[in-house]
Amino acid sequence: MRPGVAGERVFTADDFRRRALRETGPFAVDEFGDHRLNPGLRDMIVRDGLRDAAVLVPVVDHGPEATVLLTQRNANLRSHSGQVAFPGGRIDAGDASAEAAALRETMEEIGLPGERVEVIGRLPDYVTGSGYRIAPVLSVVKPGFHLHLNPAEVDAAFEVPLSFLMDPANHHRQSRTLNEVRRYFYEMPFGERYIWGVTAGIIRTLYERLYA
């Protein structure tokens, strides 16, 4: 029996760390992404010219009840405006690794200093319908931090219990029609926050890889 899966299920940062450390790869190329729920659109999603990006999956160590730190993107951004997201962005030429890019972007967006972040692993890359190949970087964050949001990029930052996000009962499949094509995605509403799309897809991948 895997710890915390049945019986006394726990959602601590320590348990998350143990699970994440097993994610060592190698990973299949383009296994995860928006095309998993939309196999008929695979050739449109998994294609040449994808832009490399990285996001930080920050699990905050609050003892018996860990949380995940998320952001609400600025409502005036050109892409994915107003959406819930992990902190992160494009991998620049000067970034030594996806992990370095995720930490840099997190500092730039919400002012979370790298010394409070313990990078512990990676999920397989997640390919998006908007043309990105995202590297989700798993981490544990020491509590007691003070965020400094960049208002040009982020309207808010908030925490969601890891137990809520890792409960498949909260993962709902939905669909929308865009340009006469029906696209399927996950949504995970949490109070006034609407988590969906790529962010929900990465959370679902985290559940499948670590907690299913």
DSSP state string for 4-67: TTSSS--B-HHHHHHHHTT------TT-EEGGGT-GGGHHHHS-TTPEEEEEEEEEE--TTB-E
Which amino acid makes up residue 13? A
Domain residue limits at 204:
13-211
Q: Is residue 134 part of a domain?
A: yes
Is residue 161 in some structural domain? yes
Give the three-class secondary structure for 148.
coil
User: Is 139 a member of any domain?
Assistant: yes
SS3 state at 191? coil
2 is a domain residue: no
Write down the pLDDT at residue 9.
80
In a domain? residue 1: no
Specify the pLDDT at position 7: 45
- Assess if residue 5 is contained within a domain: no
Q: Is residue 3 part of a domain?
A: no
How many domains, in total, are found in the chain?
1
Q: Is residue 6 part of a domain?
A: no
CATH code, domain carrying 117: 3.90.79.10
Nearest to 139 by CA among 123, 159, 119: 119
pLDDT given for residue 123 in this prediction = 95
Rounded to the nearest integer, the mean pLDDT of the chain is 91
pLDDT value for 74:
86
pLDDT of residue 78: 65
Residues of the chain with pLDDT under 50: 1-7
